[in-house]
Amino acid sequence: MFHRLTKITVTDAIATFEKSLITPNSIFDQYLRGNSTILTADKKAGYDLFKGNCTSRHVGVTLGGLSFEKMGVKKDYFKLRGGQLAEVDNGRFDVTKLEKDRHFFKVPVLRNVELPSPYFHDGSVAKLDDAVHIMAKVQRDKEFTHDEVNKVVAFLKTLTGKYKNN
């Protein structure tokens, strides 16, 4: 039976598709279930850095996707990127038309974050380590060392699960 395309039917279709993308049993899931030896020292250190810097926004089972936040809380991301603004940089403003929503974006889900490059709303960052470095700078005003970035990336890679438990 053919269903008419409406905002509701398209939203329902996307929600149904997204439910199929659940990828349980990541290394981090196993750690949370009590396997305390599954994380290496670097992954644990990355998790500690993540908890100390990222969990105010990356929360819940998916570690994100629950709120809209300003891109560049502490430092101007757009200036750092080169200063040129594009329509995609408006963020939530494009939906609400409220000036207070300009440059606000949905906090991305971090499950499987190593898989969908490029990163950010504008696709301007190709590598996960660069994304971590930039986010530390613009969201927290922190200059992570190369070693710290690598540890956070090692932790983030533990969030990759197996599609349909394969």
Task: Name the phi and psi angles at 46, rounded to 5.
Answer: -65, -40
Percentage of residues of the chain with pLDDT beyond 90: 74
Report pLDDT digits (tens) over 9-50. Answer: 887 877 777 666 667 889 999 999 999 999 999 999 999 999
State mean pLDDT over 66-86: 94
Q: Which of 19-28, 29-38, 51-60, 115-124 has the lowest mean pLDDT?
A: 19-28
Instruction: Report the distance separating Cα 124 and Cα 105, nearest Å.
Output: 15
The per-residue pLDDT for 24 is 80
The per-residue pLDDT for 21 is 63
Instruction: Report the distance separating Cα 159 and Cα 166, nearest Å.
Output: 15
* Gyration radius (Cα) of the chain, Å: 18
Superfamily of domain 22-165: Cytochrome c-like domain (1.10.760.10)
State mean pLDDT over 144-148: 98
Q: Are 90 and 103 spatial neighbours (Cβ–Cβ below 8 Å)?
A: yes
Q: Are 103 and 18 spatial neighbours (Cβ–Cβ below 8 Å)?
A: no
User: What residue segments make up the domains of the chain, in order of their start?
Assistant: 22-165
Q: State the pTM of this model.
A: 0.85
